[in-house]
Structure 1
Amino acid sequence: MRRLAPALTLGAAALIAVTGCGAQSTGTLGNVKLAAADAVQQSAQRAGEVTSYSADLVLDATGGEKGPGKIQGSVVYQSQPQLATDITLDTITFDGQNVPGGARAIFTGDTVYVKSQLLTKFAGATKPWLKASITDIDAEGQKGVRDLLDQARQFDLAGTVKLLTTSKDVKAVGTETVGGAETTHYSGTFPVAEAAQVIDPARQEQLKQQLSSVKDVKFDLWADAQSLPRKVTLSGAEHGATFNLTALFKGFNEPVTIAAPPAEQVGDLPKNPAPSGN
């Protein structure tokens, strides 16, 4: 399986890897003014209380040896009654090529179902969906698959916003309407080394490696009157390549339905698929 372009992987890592001091610019929570750093902390806390949401995502990468790349899609997430995520990627471009048909992944517990024309061809499968247990994926034979699944599986609203709490220069820059909600716009940067310390310890080394060439990541956060993050953007650079990621969040704590695909459409992911020749 081909590797994602460096800037594309960099952007995905910044999004999914996912408390600090800051400038004294203020935002507003209801009628209460908060220092910008405190407002970001409050937003991270509220994000951690969310049990379900949906999000629209766009990641653009430019420059670098592999050329431009883009990922565009949506996510539906729930933490109760069990952890489940449904990720649809309508557009996937890397190495200057489009992935035909995009991809979709459904995570329920420790099981992942993947629908991808490219992966189906690569694995020699006969059914549209492939199923695998995260714990059963071989560390060597399925490393490329596992890397992508780990990134998608670790995506969560709380982790994304928590990265921002390590900022030392965050400030409020105005108010805007996002998704029909009035929000306060905050802007700043967060240091990668410190951000790695606030995420899941099992993912710290992965984040450091993927963002090893980036000292600071620029971010913008739009939080509503309840401190819920309505929009987050992240951007950074690596050896002349850049990434820009935008996530729009909605449907907080609303009922969602995430179900496995029909059994007759599902086959098992081979443990050692034949080389793709790429």
Structure 2
Amino acid sequence: MSSQHGSAPYYFVPGPSSWPVLAGASLLLTMIGASAWVNGYSWGSYANLLGIAATLVVLYKWFGEAIKESEGGLYSQRVDLSFRWSMSWFIFSEVMFFAGFFGALFYARSVTMPWLSDLDHKFIWPDFVGQWGHAGPAGTVDPFTTMGPFPIPTINTALLLLSGVTLTISHHALRAGHRSKTAFWLFATIVLGAVFMGFQAYEYMHAYSELNLKLTSGIYGSTFYMLTGFHGFHVTLGAIMLAVVLRRVLRGDFTAEQHFGFEGAAWYWHFVDVVWLGLYVVVYWL
């Protein structure tokens, strides 16, 4: 957002738009395709990919209109405040999203595992060992090796922490009016995020091929891939957001005073960093 508030209306109300309906329809197609895909229907993968492509097109067009409205001077200080509250509540919803996953991990490790390994349940599952990374009480899970913190998870932690530093430097450069410095450090942040995802992809291949750790490897495998996979998805989204912001920086959209588009993406990226720190400790160390 880079419009001058002085020339903006008291509050801007956009006209009727088809984008919300199209976004809902494309997301519905995406989920129907995903559901059919995992249930073995041949058309599911095509429907899922078509839905994803349609969603990306809708978002590109919809956000493009919002950018034009901002650059056209239609957004006042009150609209800016509404964007800030909206982004804050969105990040809060993401906090609750990950809190549910961390809660599932806590329940499996601290409630279910001791309960299944107590004396009463030894009569039902005598071979069950109450140690995290177990193969389940029935012993039906193929043997696997748990994932440790070295070396890739620790390297990825350093990469995300460093990306938070480079993004902060970029933000300060934008506030000081140094556009080229802003673009350089923002590009460095995106590169660090891409390297993070490359290491995570390698980690997954290593887990599948050498550790036999799969999504079907009991509660350990499902919680591991659920937490790390969704976090990786959020890193990817954050990198895309920062790439869009970089394009706008190079285009000259932002000013030192008005740049909430940059700030909103930066908030999201810092949130992703904090989630990873918790995930790194709970999933890889404990």
Q: TM-score, normalised to structure 2's length?
A: 0.24
Q: Which has the larger radius of gyration?
A: 2
Q: Which has the higher contact order (CA 8 A, sep 6+)?
A: 1
**Hey, which of these two has a bigger chunk of helix by percent?**
2
Q: TM-score, normalised to structure 1's length?
A: 0.24
